[in-house]
Amino acid sequence: MRDYTPLDEFETGDFDLEERQALRRVAGLSTELEDITEVEYRKLRLERVVLVGVWTTGTAEDADNSLLELKLLAETAGSQVLDGLVQRRQRPDPATYIGSGKALEVRDIVEASGADTVICDGELTPGQLRQLEEIVKVKVIDRTALILDIFAQHAKSREGKAQVELAQLQYLLPRLRGWGGNLSRQVGGRAAGGVGIGGRGPGETKIELDRRRIRERMAKLRRQIGGMSTARDTKRHARQSREVPAVAIAGYTNAGKSSLLNRVTGAGVLVEDALFATLDPTVRKARTPEGRLFTIADTVGFVRHLPHQLVEAFRSTLEEVADADLILHVVDGSHPDPEGQLAAVREVFADIEGALSVPEIVVVNKADAADPEVIDRIIRRERDSVVVSARTGKGIPELMRLIEEQLPRLDHEVHLLVPYERGDLISRAHAEGEVLSIDHVGEGTVLHARVLPSLSQELLRVGKPVERVS
């Protein structure tokens, strides 16, 4: 059985973390947004914010947890949260999300607190955004725009940046709007050629031109992502052709997926106590206690009401989950609502074809900080589950044994004499299979192992059954 190195001895992305923290948003810079018509055409910059939520279903505790998560999202984006409000309604107001009267109350709170942004805990329609901004007189964004902004900050790879940009453009397209003569002027005919009076004809408005450019950019990004996913598919097929089992780590954001990957493999992936700290998937090799090789992939974290634009844009990345032989579903045992985390992740699984049919182990992480009663409740509800602490290493050996049991079985047992010149097959048996015994004799190596079908066929072609060895 392998030794598990303490987490603090790993290189847990220290350089990435230092680089990320080198430049931070400066709190206290007022946007002083007098003309709210410009909000769609400037970069999202969050500073002093007021949170607003609508409680439609569930308990008051559920509503508070949702707004608390919105607070963590806002702080991850670099904001200072000044206040948070929840309104009890049967459904969000179709005009202003919270109703015109409550919108006036929010405006008073914004003026009193000096906030420059209102963040709503839901996805607002373009009409709701416009009307709410007209009332509160500051920038209004919704939960989807906030998550997209965080993804844009944290994406590092070329593929990740392209996926986030595509999701942002999908969100922005129906929300483009133009104001004043400058944004609604039409040009056409020979007007651009400077022919003057009488030469103008009907043409595109500025907003139509913007929409066309966005659609062209989206088409280009989809082609780029398609090309990048081809490379990912090639690597995946190469792993599958070697018949190495694949394990995918999935779960709620900040549940400790990257810490678990570092603990099991020593991958040195960035670890930060922040939502969506890592977006780019990482694939590493690992071995079970019996020495069997498998790959383990860290995937992007999920969250309640994950924007559908992101699910679509990150589909090629999320396919790592559907193509895996086993899913390690990591849940934060110290979270106020771990069952809600499990349900939210499985809701995203339902959007990924084939993901729900993959065997799943529920890994209850952060056991050193969790309430024992909560852990017992989860263990009783989830059939295949294990309690671990990626920080201290508690429960990791039990997790590795459970992975060993759940991986596809090596159902081809061989007992052969393999010539010394085919030592490469002996090496593959060690790397890809489970070697039960090995003995070196004059004619070659006597191998007793359980291996995958492809390796079994190669061994049978070159080896001799032990019974026939003189």
| pLDDT at position 276 | 62
pLDDT tier at 17 (50, 70, 90 boundaries)? low
| pTM of the entire predicted model | 0.67
Q: What is the pLDDT of residues 91-131, one digit of tens each?
A: 999 999 998 889 999 999 999 998 989 999 988 998 999 99
Residue 9 has pLDDT above 50, yes or no: no
Annotated binding site for GTP: 251-258, 276-280, 298-301, 365-368, 389-391
Q: What is the pLDDT of residues 47-83, one digit of tens each?
A: 789 999 998 888 888 888 888 889 988 888 888 899 9
Annotated binding site: 251-258, 276-280, 298-301, 365-368, 389-391
**Three-state SS for 50?**
strand
Average pLDDT over residues 181-205: 51
pLDDT tier at 258 (50, 70, 90 boundaries)? confident
| Alpha carbons 298 and 286: distance in angstroms, whole number | 13
| Alpha carbons 262 and 277: distance in angstroms, whole number | 14
pLDDT tier at 273 (50, 70, 90 boundaries)? low
Of the ranges 323-332, 401-410, 460-469, the best mean pLDDT one: 323-332
| pLDDT at position 443 | 85
Q: Are 334 and 367 in contact (CB under 8 A)?
A: no
Q: Are 184 and 206 in contact (CB under 8 A)?
A: yes
- Within a 10 A sphere around the Cβ of 440, how many other Cβ atoms? 10
| pLDDT at position 196 | 52
Sheet with 246-251: list strands edge to edge: 282-287, 293-298, 246-251, 326-332, 360-365, 385-387
* Lowest model confidence (mean pLDDT) among 102-106, 244-248, 278-282, 319-323: 278-282
- Closest to 246 measured CA to CA, from 357, 408, 385: 408
Residue 217, amino acid = R
| Alpha carbons 248 and 414: distance in angstroms, whole number | 30
Residue 193 has pLDDT above 60, yes or no: no
| pLDDT at position 277 | 55
| pLDDT at position 105 | 92
Q: What is the pLDDT of residues 213-237, one digit of tens each?
A: 999 999 999 888 888 777 766 766 6
Annotated binding site for Mg(2+): 258, 278
| Alpha carbons 251 and 331: distance in angstroms, whole number | 6
- Closest to 191 measured CA to CA, from 179, 178, 204: 204
| Alpha carbons 99 and 95: distance in angstroms, whole number | 7
Q: Percent of the chain at pLDDT above 90?
A: 20
| pLDDT at position 317 | 66
Residue 155 has pLDDT above 80, yes or no: no
Distance of CA 334 to the CA centre of its chain: 20
Q: What is the mean pLDDT of the chain?
A: 78
Q: What share of the chain is helix, strand, coil (3-state, %, to 5)?
A: 45, 20, 35
pLDDT tier at 466 (50, 70, 90 boundaries)? confident
Burial 145-183 (b: 16+ CB within 10 A, else e): bbbbbbbbbbbeeebbbbbbbbbbbbbbeeebebeeeeb
| pLDDT at position 195 | 47
